[in-house]
């Protein structure tokens, strides 16, 4: 897809802040620091559009980005960061579940997992939730540039085993590996709508 425009629209802390123009949405989900904002920037080839950082738990709201004036990317807060308070962890679940359950504009949920590690319990819970609720979704294994080809192959098998029944794409925001495949999936989801 040719990107003609990409702009940050707003941060939402609850339902009343969600956009209301009815454009289809692609959501990015995954644990804190897994590379959601980096993936979003890499797909759009716009450095720094979504804020990335080394400090886990940076994104606390659902951030809406309007692409080509006709669909949104939504960058959700990361989960599973041990150092945040229990209340904040509970807030994540409430905010994400409310969004995933109610948002009719949502056409694709992209779940990110770190290719260097086996999916965590929270990764598996989110994945089961997406399957159980029949959500059109895609799994992306991030940071593949940090692994050798052999290690990557082995780890992708572990991801496949833990998150059964989903399409998995290996990605690197550093090299752009996987970008075309992800855009194809996004394009298909937008077309189906
Ligand atoms: N080498 C490499 N580093 C990456 C890749 N993707 C993300 N990173 C790094 O991982 C760190 C976290 O990336 P973010 O994109 O901020 O992660 P996030 O999931 O948005 O994090 P939160 O907003 O805190 O939930 C940053 O230092 C990124 O530069 C990748 O594909 N390769
Ligand atoms: Mg982020």
User: Distance between CA 28 and CA 55 in Å, rounded?
Assistant: 18
Q: What angle do CA 61, 29, 22 make, to 5 degrees?
A: 70
Q: What angle do CA 145, 41, 18 make, to 5 degrees?
A: 135
Beta carbon of 179 within 6 Å of any ligand 1 atom = no
The two tokens of residue 150 are: 């052999």
pLDDT tens across 134-187, in order? 999 999 999 999 999 999 999 999 999 999 999 999 999 999 999 999 999 999
Give the model's pLDDT for residue 79: 81
CB 32 within 8 A of CB 114: no
Ligand 2 geometric centre to CA of 166 (Å): 23
CB-hemisphere CA count at 13 Å for 90?
Answer: 3
Give the model's pLDDT for residue 59: 60
Give the model's pLDDT for residue 53: 72
pLDDT tens across 86-143, in order? 666 667 777 888 999 999 999 999 999 999 999 999 999 999 999 999 999 999 999 9
The confidence band for 192, taking pLDDT boundaries of 50, 70 and 90, is confident
Give the model's pLDDT for residue 38: 95
Give the model's pLDDT for residue 193: 74
pLDDT tens across 35-86, in order? 999 999 999 999 889 888 776 665 678 999 999 999 999 999 888 765 666 6
Which residue's CA lies nearest to atom 1 of ligand 1? Answer: 143
CB-hemisphere CA count at 13 Å for 158?
Answer: 16
Give the model's pLDDT for residue 102: 95
Give the model's pLDDT for residue 6: 97
Ligand 2 geometric centre to CA of 132 (Å): 26
Counting from 1 in the atom list of ligand 1, the atom nearest the Cα of 173 is: 31
Judged by DSSP in three states, 69 sits in coil
Counting from 1 in the atom list of ligand 1, the atom nearest the Cα of 172 is: 31
Give the model's pLDDT for residue 14: 87
Give the model's pLDDT for residue 125: 92
Give the model's pLDDT for residue 86: 67
Counting from 1 in the atom list of ligand 1, the atom nearest the Cα of 144 is: 31
Ligand 1 geometric centre to CA of 36 (Å): 7
DSSP code per residue over 148-182: -HHHHHHHHHHHHHHTTTS-EEE--TTT-TTHHHH
Residues ≥6 apart with Cβ < 8 Å to 93: 79
């Amino acid at each position: 897809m040719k990107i003609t425009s990409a702009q940050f629209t707003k941060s939402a802390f609850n339902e009343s802040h969600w956009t209301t123009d009815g454009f289809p949405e692609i959501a990015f989900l995954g644990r804190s620091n897994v590379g959601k904002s980096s993936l979003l920037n890499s797909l759009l080839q716009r450095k720094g559009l979504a804020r990335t950082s080394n400090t886990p738990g940076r994104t606390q709201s659902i951030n809406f980005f309007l692409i080509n004036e006709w669909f949104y990317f939504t960058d959700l807060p990361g989960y599973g960061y041990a150092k945040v308070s229990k209340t904040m962890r509970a807030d994540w679940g409430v905010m994400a579940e409310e969004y995933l359950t109610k948002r009719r504009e949502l056409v694709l949920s992209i779940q990110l997992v770190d290719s260097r590690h086996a999916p965590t319990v929270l990764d598996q819970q989110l994945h089961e939730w997406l399957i159980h609720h029949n959500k059109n979704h895609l799994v992306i294994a991030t940071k593949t540039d940090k692994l050798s080809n052999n290690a990557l192959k082995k780890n992708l098998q572990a991801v496949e085993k833990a998150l059964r029944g989903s399409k998995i794409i290996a990605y690197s925001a550093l090299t752009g590996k996987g970008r075309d495949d992800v855009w194809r999936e996004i394009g298909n989801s937008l077309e189906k709508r």
